[in-house]
Amino acid sequence: MQLIERYAYHNRLRKVQPDHKAAIALLGLLLCLALDKPVVSLTCIAWMFVLVVFIAGVPARTFGHVLLVEGGFILMTIPGILIGIGPSAPSDPAAWAWPLGPVWISTSSAALWRGVALVMRALGCAAAMNFLALTTPSVDIIELLRRWRMPPVLIDIMTVTYRSIFVLLESANTMYIAQDSRLGYMTSRMRAIHNVALLASQLFIEAYRRGKELQIALESRGFTGELHVLPTSYRFSPLFTVLGVVMTAQLILLWAMV
């Protein structure tokens, strides 16, 4: 998360209007879902790779790393599709099957193909969302949702939650260092577990206290139930409109031809 945050703030597309970036990401996502062919998904990943690595200037390693992690999660859901388990051998003659005790474990080339297609499709969608995540800080995304008329309550909750994550991470880190510097984690394993428990319970109290103090501070600046903030201004980027059109056209063409 820290890694993604870092590039979100320091990439060449940082100042491009978030609307455009979000539109590209959503377009990629929708096209991958609608045009369900591996070739479309692969092309979508390629598009996102070019956008993230060459245009935004995020290292290819980072793009790959994030996608790989997501790929790991996706793969975990695949066995259910690839492998069938039944009381008898499958009727399909093209299937491969092995007896394992009382049950039959089977798979087929069709199932394999379905699995591959599914993985590709999920990866295509993930890549599209990664493009947004790696080029747009959460602040901008929240801001975007505000302009897209998401209910203000949700926006305010997101704003404060997001900020609180970092405040609490910092407290947790400080507490951990304080414990560690007094040798809290150098003695027995049991002690260490005990210390983590202490830290967690303290963090609860801390979160509660900070919440109250934040409320007080907000009220002192005239808070009346809604967090009004200035919208950020961005430059309009015709490049992204063109990119969006070209990408859509190419993906649809590919889908129709292959």
Residues that bind another protein in the complex, under the rule CB under 8 A = 5, 9, 137-139, 143, 159-160, 162-163, 166-167, 170, 210, 213-214, 216-224, 227-232
**Considering the complex, what minimum distance in angstroms separates the CB of residue 5 from another protein?**
8
- Which of 162, 185 has the CB closer to another protein? 162
Q: How far is the CB of 127 from another protein (least distance, A)?
A: 25
Q: How far is the CB of 132 from another protein (least distance, A)?
A: 17
Q: Which of 67, 98, 94 is nearest to 85 (CA)?
A: 98
Closest approach, Cβ 200 to another protein, in A, equals 20
Tokens of 148: 């897209």
Residue with Cβ nearer another protein (48 or 143):
143
Q: Name which of 115 and 137 has its Cβ closer to another protein.
A: 137
Q: Which is nearer to another protein, 123 or 144 (CB)?
A: 144
Q: CA–CA distance from 200 to each of 161, 188, 193, 210 (Å)?
A: 18, 19, 11, 15
Instruction: Closer to another protein by CB, 162 or 176: give it.
Output: 162
Burial class (CB in 10 A: 0-12, 13-18, 19+), 161: exposed
- How many other CB atoms are found less than 10 A from the CB of residue 115? 19
Q: Tell me whether residue 170 or residue 180 sits nearer to another protein (CB atom).
A: 170
The least distance separating another protein from the CB of residue 168, rounded to whole angstroms, comes to 10
Please state the closest distance from residue 204 (CB atom) to another protein, in A: 17
